[in-house]
Amino acid sequence: MAASAAASAAPTPVPSPAPEGRVFISPSAKRIAAEHGIDVAVLAGKGTGPEGRVIEKDVLNFIAAAPKATPLAGKMAADMGIDISTVAGTGIGGKVTSEDLKVPAPVYAPAPAAPLSIGATIPFTGMRKAVAQNVAGSAQTAPHVTLITEVDMTEATRLRKQILADTEKNYGVRISFTDIIAKAVARAILDKPIVNASLQGDQIIIHDRINLGIATAIEAGLVVPVVKDVPSKSLVQISAEVKELVARARAGQAGGADFKDGTFTITNLGAFGVESFNPIITPGQSAILGVCAIKDKPVVVDGEIKVRSMMNICLSFDHRIMDGAPAAEFLARLKQILEAPYLML
């Protein structure tokens, strides 16, 4: 009995203050925070429970006072260093979505070219900084994997030569390899739609439109004008629209609508002789295609060595959305279409 009395008389232990950087939070409050994509670290000092413990009410109050954004948008904003309260949301009820965080948004004026001389200092501001935040956010958020395959572009080159004079004469449009590749990509996406998807919260959304972004370098930085609904357009229509969008961007006359709603991006460095690279996925998309230089090479065709026009294509994909096999299947299908371009029809 004496031992029992001594035990009952022992003082109740008092919880020690939370170590710096640690948040005491109830299990139910932690669950609610996780469901809403809230890092518990931001709740430090906001607890109203015993000894400053964060309870359900504290999390709910934080949610009510916080800017409305999808979990993906919240994560992207944090990775890109963007104050999400400054972003106008276009989602349901004004909620900020991943599309609202894409760069660039409104009409911009091109900045003068920075002096590129030895010892020069280039301001890290404006579009250069925005592009940096965009690509850094994508690289940190999406686990990138890049697959590379070689494509025989001999038939695509022959097709372009055959239609070049006619399209220039009758439509005033000069078909480029990027135009042909864009049409082929849209056709391949119809067969392998997983590359035309987005990760939104705990769902993978396969888009019902194929809107191709064409990465374009201008003096102010990198922009990605978007050609909407590519499968429904002819090669001439695609070519004309790409050229118009790029011209507006370079003249500083492009608006936010020119850059919105992209679902897949193409970036072509072939003009610079690049033979291989790892493109960074546009935030909110599942994949990007890097296009390399077309070069004449000796290859074995039907047991004979022949000179063919060869080109590498590099697909970077988000490994959260797809595994290597479906990405490789898309790349193989695109190769098949480019090597037999009549399959685009």
pLDDT above 60 (res 334): yes
Question: 321 pLDDT band (50/70/90 cuts)?
Answer: very high
Lowest mean pLDDT, pick from 8-12, 61-65, 175-179, 248-252 = 8-12
Question: What CATH number does the domain located at 17-66 have?
Answer: 4.10.320.10
pLDDT for the residue 47: 87
Instruction: Write out the residue limits of the CATH 4.10.320.10 domain(s) in the chain.
Output: 17-66
Question: Which whole-number Å values give the CA distances from 140 to 133, 219, 259, in the listed order?
Answer: 10, 26, 22
Quick one: average pLDDT of 232-255?
89
Q: Annotated catalytic residue: which of 39, 229, 296, 319?
A: 319
The yes-or-no answer on residue 144 being catalytic is: no
Instruction: Write out the residue limits of the CATH 3.30.559.10 domain(s) in the chain.
Output: 128-344
Quick one: average pLDDT of 313-322?
96
This model's pTM is above 0.85? no
Higher-confidence position of 91 and 244:
244
Secondary structure string (H, E, C) spanning the chain: CHHHHHHHHCCCCCCCCCCCCCCCECHHHHHHHHHCCCCHHHHCCCCCCHHHCECHHHHHHHHHHCCCECHHHHHHHHHHCCCHHHCCCCCHHHCECHHHHCCCCCCCCCCCCCCCCCCCCCCCCHHHHHHHHHHHHHHHHCCEEEEEEEEECHHHHHHHHHHHHHHHHHHCCCCCHHHHHHHHHHHHHHHCHHHCEEEECCEEEECCCCCEEECEEECCEEECCEECCHHHCCHHHHHHHHHHHHHHHHCCCCCHHHHCCCCEEEEECHHHCCCCCCCCCCCCCCEEEEEEEEEEEEEEECCEEEEEEEEEEEEEEECCCCCHHHHHHHHHHHHHHHHCHHHHC
Q: What is the pLDDT of residues 117-128, one digit of tens each?
A: 787 777 777 767
pLDDT for the residue 313: 98
Overall fold of domain 128-344: Chloramphenicol Acetyltransferase (3.30.559)
Quick one: average pLDDT of 221-227?
86
pLDDT above 60 (res 73): yes
Higher-confidence position of 327 and 139:
327
pLDDT for the residue 310: 98
pLDDT for the residue 104: 44
The yes-or-no answer on residue 207 being catalytic is: no
Quick one: average pLDDT of 206-211?
96
Q: What is the pLDDT of residues 263-287, one digit of tens each?
A: 999 999 999 999 999 999 999 999 9
Higher-confidence position of 318 and 119:
318
pLDDT for the residue 246: 86
Q: First-to-last CA distance in the chain?
A: 93
Q: What is the pLDDT of residues 94-109, one digit of tens each?
A: 567 766 666 443 333 3
pLDDT above 50 (res 3): no
Q: What is the pLDDT of residues 137-163, one digit of tens each?
A: 888 888 999 999 999 999 999 999 999
pLDDT for the residue 109: 38
Mean pLDDT of the chain: 83
